[in-house]
Amino acid sequence: MSNVIGIIRALNSGVKHLAVKRFTLRYPEQKLKFVGDGFQFNPETGVGIAGLRGRHILFHENCTGCQLCSVACEGIAEAISMVKVAETWKHNKKAIMPQIDYGKCVFCGLCVDACPFYALYMTNDYELSSFSKSALIYTPAQLAIKPNISQDVEIKISDRGASHG
Amino acid sequence: MTTQLPPGMHLETVDDKIMTLNVGPQHPGSGHMRLIIKVDGDYIVSCDPDPGYVHRGEEKMAEYRNYIQNIPHLERPVIHDSSNILYPYCLGVEELLGIEVPERAKYIRVIAAELNRCVYILYWLAIYGIFLGHSTMFMWPAGDRELFIDLLEAMSGARVTHAYLVPGGVRNDLPSNFEERCLRQVAYFEKRLKEYEDIFYQNPLLKARTEGSGILSRTDAIRLGTTGSVLRASGVDFDVRKKEPYDVYENLDFQTVVMKEGDSYARSRIPYLEMFESCRIIKDALKKMPKSGSVRTKLKPNPKGGNDEVYRRVESGRGAIGYYIVSNNRPEPYRVKISVGSFRNLICMPYLLKGEKLGNMPAVYWGLNYWPVEADR
């Protein structure tokens, strides 16, 4: 008898969910909202600023070509290589800047921690898939572009359950 | 006729009553490992686990990277529990380098570790459910796991491999509205957890399959050197968080969950009950945490450890994880040895599966809370 009650109770707890809104986020129509503009780092205090660790953004006016990001990436993913850039900056005599291979990058963000000149941050852009391996290699010019994506869905919790709106 | 065999090899004698089955290494029900099972009809005569298919040499890799560069690859063995597998490494390196951790960072680390424990247990519960044929128990934990993943994402910036804990504290401070959001989602999750009870744990079908199967007695559990939920399900009150408290666990209010039965049902129920305790710890830690202050001690570039060795351990989702780190005045560690819970629980498998029905193999196997990738390192 207790078995029958147990099965009825189990069925009942499942049936209750017929009236509850679905929890699933309907990606790609909906995109989840993140904290801030991505992971950043303050070299003065040595502490990062919370944010999603997505695709990098490179500020050409700050980059000195010191290669510290590339050194940090050695032994982790070896995704960063320094390449020649056409533009000339007074503070970047060698005219080299990081180029990132997203086929190798593990998004640990230790390159951002290594940058002492506020030149390399990370952004909320995580949709990096492509049809070829070469398109995954982002040149310094591509890294300078600020991503423009609308991510605005937040989780809603009410008495009847949670949903993504 | 005798054939000359190379030393160390032997011919297998074939019995026409006993059949040998290879479960894995590609079978989705076994994980990345092989179980060599001998069956007599429907009953298992012997079981020989064969791990090592996902060995990645993490320990050797750690000898060629400095203390900070070791962080991303050391969390790879258990990406669902990445804060907990990094925790003992950070504690060990802090002791080697003599770093003081700020008080706020200690609380944040505890919160990250407990959120990660819930993520791991929910993932494990989803697999446990689906291999017992309960597909609702796959959907629900896999969905509710998103609550914690979202919190960890806001905290650390990544959904699974967080690389959040570092020697000296944590990578970044909590975002501004984290506390309120965390409390809201944890309160909702506790309500959801109670629904699991009806649909899964009090379900007569689950009880019929798991109660009384694969019994591990208290003395055997200690003799075989098991750890984590397997040990606590056999009635041994041992939790590293209570017995050797690290960081701020001694200030926090929680209990160790212990059950006496030692069967598959108890082993599957212990992690579930531990999630309630994890929620308690998170709420308590958020209340007691200093509201402001530094979260990371600045390290020198390429810090060097002295001629020293250190062993630290923490409680993870699968039991005690210990790190033994030796340094010799270089920026890289001389030796890193990881002692993981999964590998130590694996030894019970031949004992527990003997005499079981073959259909009950997943119930016993997954009840051990075994993660093949972690065991192979």
**Hey, where are the domains in chain B?**
58-376
| Chains A & B: contacts with CB separation below 8 Å | 106
**How many angstroms separate the CA atoms of B53 and B32, rounded?**
6
With beta carbons under 8 A apart, name residues in chain B contacting A113: 171
- How far is Cα B260 from Cα B221, in angstroms, rounded to an integer? 12
Q: Do B172 and A49 touch (CB under 8 A)?
A: yes
Closest chain B residue by Cα to residue A110: B69
How far A20 CA lies from chain B's nearest CA (Å)? 13
Domain assignment present for A132: yes
Residues in B touching A6 (Cβ below 8 Å): 202-204, 207
The confidence score (pLDDT) of residue B292 equals 84
pLDDT digits (tens, 9 = 90+) for B249-273: 888 888 898 988 888 899 889 999 9
Does residue A16 fall inside a structural domain? no
Measured between alpha carbons, how far is B89 from B70 in angstroms, rounded to an integer?
9
Instruction: Say which amino acid occupies B372.
Output: P
Give a yes or no: residue A14 inside a domain: no
The reply to whether A12 falls in a domain is no
**What is the structure's pLDDT at B1?**
55
The answer to whether residue A2 sits within a structural domain is no
Number of domains in chain A: 1
Q: Does the distance separating the beta carbons of B150 and A13 come in below 8 Å?
A: no
| CA A74 vs CA A139, B67, B166, B337: distances in Å | 18, 13, 18, 23
A125/A56 Cα distance (integer angstroms): 8
The answer as to whether A28 is a domain residue is yes
Per-residue model confidence (pLDDT) at position B131 = 86
As a whole-number percent, the residues of chain A with pLDDT over 90 amount to 10
Confidence of residue B2 (pLDDT cuts 50, 70, 90): low
Spatial separation of the C-alpha atoms in residues B353 and B361, rounded to whole Å: 7
- Report d(CA B376, CA B60) in Å as an integer: 13
Judged on CB neighbours under 10 Å (0-12, 13-18, 19+), A2 is: exposed
H/E stretch holding B290 reads none
pLDDT in tens, A82-129: 888 888 888 888 888 899 999 999 998 889 988 888 889 999 888 888
Q: Do residues B214 and B367 touch, judged by C-beta distance below 8 A?
A: yes
The rounded Cα B242 to chain-centroid distance in angstroms is 17
Specify the pLDDT at position B337: 92
**So what's the ipTM on this one?**
0.87
> A106 and B157: CB-CB below 8 Å?
no
List, for residues B228-246, the tens digit of each pLDDT value. Answer: 888 898 888 888 888 888 8
Do the chains contact at B71 and A35, CB–CB below 8 Å?
A: no
Instruction: Report, as an integer, the average pLDDT of B347-368.
Output: 85
Domain B58-376: homologous superfamily in CATH: Cytochrome-c3 Hydrogenase, chain B (1.10.645.10)
The mean-pLDDT minimum among A19-28, B69-78, B316-325 falls in A19-28
Residue B371 has pLDDT above 60, yes or no: yes
Of B170, B149, B169, B147, which is closest to residue B161 (Cα–Cα)?
B149
Asked if residue A4 has pLDDT above 90, the reply is no
Do A162 and B161 make contact, defined as CB atoms within 8 angstroms?
no
> Which CATH number belongs to the domain containing residue A48 in this structure?
3.30.70.3270
Query: Chain A: residue nearest B191 by CA?
Result: A161
Q: What is the DSSP letter of A19?
A: G
CA distances from B324 to B54, B90, B164, B177, B374 (A): 22, 12, 21, 38, 16
State mean pLDDT over A18-38.
Answer: 84
What is the domain extent for residue A123? 23-163
For residue B94 the two structure tokens come to 């802090």
pLDDT at position A46: 82
Output the six-digit token pair for B221: 């559990």
Are B36 and B50 contacting, i.e. CB atoms less than 8 angstroms apart?
Answer: yes
CB contact under 8 A, B202 and A10: yes
Alpha helices, DSSP H only, in chain B? 58-62, 70-74, 82-97, 103-131, 136-156, 178-196, 204-210, 218-223, 229-233, 240-243, 264-288, 341-346, 349-353, 361-367, 372-376
pLDDT, position B28: 62
Query: Which residues of A make CB contacts under 8 Å with B?
Result: 2-3, 6-7, 9-10, 12-14, 23-25, 32, 34-36, 38-39, 41, 45-53, 72, 74-77, 106-110, 113, 122, 155, 157, 162
Mutate to test the interface with B, among A24, A155, A158 (most CBs of B within 10 A): A155
Average pLDDT of A25-48? Answer: 86
Q: A122 with A112: CB under 8 angstroms? A: yes
What residues of chain B lie within 8 A of the CB of A155, using their CB? 147, 150, 185
Q: Which residue has better confidence, B343 or B2?
A: B343
